[in-house]
Amino acid sequence: MQSEEKYSIIRMIPEHIKAIVSIEKEIQYEPWTESLFLAELRQPQALCFTLTVRGSIAGYVCSNIIHGELHVNNIGIAPSFQNRGYGTGLMVKLLEEARERGARIVHLEVRESNFSALHLYRKLGFRVRGRRPGYYSTPSGKEDAILMSLTL
């Protein structure tokens, strides 16, 4: 599904983090804290973006580039904005910026039950490279992470 409204993707700044943490708490079983997001932003290799719709923060992505490899550490879209193309837009922006900065490959982990994210990553050309058993905690126990990569 395509996004219904125009959106903006801008560099994440500390002032965005309170709203981002609010989204994170809605969508993650073990959400990142404000201090984790701030620590991520302070990293010289960090590449973090905020997605806004109608001036409101609707999504975010945090990643870093080390030795030509981009690792996506955290991505989220607020529930009321999911399945409308915003995640695709955010990932496309991230991949473009990563290419410009010399990244040659992208790695990420995704919950095996996160079918919409798996679909998005496959649509963008990511391929399954493996799994991490019990990587994620859930209310009912542990869940495997699917490891995916994309050559840029």
Q: Tell me which architecture the domain covering 7-151 has in CATH.
A: 3-Layer(aba) Sandwich (3.40)
Indicate the domain borders of the chain: 7-151
Q: Whole-prediction pTM value?
A: 0.92
Q: Fill in the DSSP letter of residue 30.
A: S
Local structure of 74: helix, strand or coil: strand
Instruction: List the Cα angle 56/60/64 in 5-degree steps.
Output: 150
For 77-114, write each residue's pLDDT tens digit. Answer: 999 999 999 999 999 999 999 999 999 999 999 999 99
Structure tokens at 120: 């998005």
DSSP H stretches of helix in the chain: 17-27, 34-42, 86-100, 115-123
Residue 28, φ and ψ in degrees, nearest 5: -120, 140
pLDDT in tens, the chain (152 residues): 454 578 999 999 999 999 999 999 999 989 999 999 999 999 999 999 999 999 999 999 999 999 999 999 999 999 999 999 999 999 999 999 999 999 999 999 999 999 999 999 999 999 999 999 999 988 889 999 999 999 99
